[in-house]
Amino acid sequence: MPIRSPRGRAAAYRAIWQWPLRSPARLALSAAVLLAVVLAVSTVLGRVAPEPAPTAAPSTTSGTRAPQTTGQASAPRTPTPTALPPVPDLTPSPLPVSSAPAAALDVAAQWAAAWVRPPDGTPPAQWLEGLRPLTTDEYLGVLATVDPSAVPATRVTGAPSAQRVAAGSVDVAVQTDALTLLVLVVLTEDGVWRVADYDRAA
């Protein structure tokens, strides 16, 4: 039958907490039970409580950060060149002028003799035909635009002389009655010397 009066409840509570004090055996048993309850509660709370997040280890260096890795080794980078490599000189190495082939000098002399101003009334095509056997096909097209009546020189006055010699080409000076020609003679694929350009000597 339940206890309904306040005085009855107080007497019941007093009897409960005084029960361990009535003998040493009861006191020891009560202490053991209380300790077991405390340990059980602590164990349950320890399992339920979340584990603390691990703290980052202090950095051993100041101002620097360790590189992050993505799991794959990055490909080595090719260094960007800071300057372009030097371009080799394409100009043929000069040779002694004494090594100039006689055939090249002879072609230069013949060409200069055919180049000087022809007699009045000579058709330009006839003048050009006189230069054809001694001129490269490419340069013959340039000479086709020249008016032979405007050529200042009328005759050759000096022997040809080599000014610059390289493998496959010779610069030859030829004196005329009006100016000194500087004739470029080249060795063609056919193995013959032909005139590829001319200019006034400085």
| Residue 29: domain span | 6-39
pLDDT number for residue 183: 98
SS3 content of the chain, % helix, strand, coil (to 5): 40, 15, 45
**50 domain-assigned:** no
Do 26 and 20 meet the contact criterion of CB atoms below 8 Å apart?
yes
Do 133 and 115 meet the contact criterion of CB atoms below 8 Å apart?
no
**85 domain-assigned:** no
The total domain count for the chain is: 2
**75 domain-assigned:** no
Residue with tokens 């056997």: 133
pLDDT number for residue 6: 59
pLDDT digits (tens, 9 = 90+) for 126-164: 999 999 999 999 999 999 999 999 999 999 999 999 999
Q: What is the 3-state secondary structure (H, E, C) of 130-159?
A: HHHHHECHHHHHHHCCCCHHHCCCCCECCC
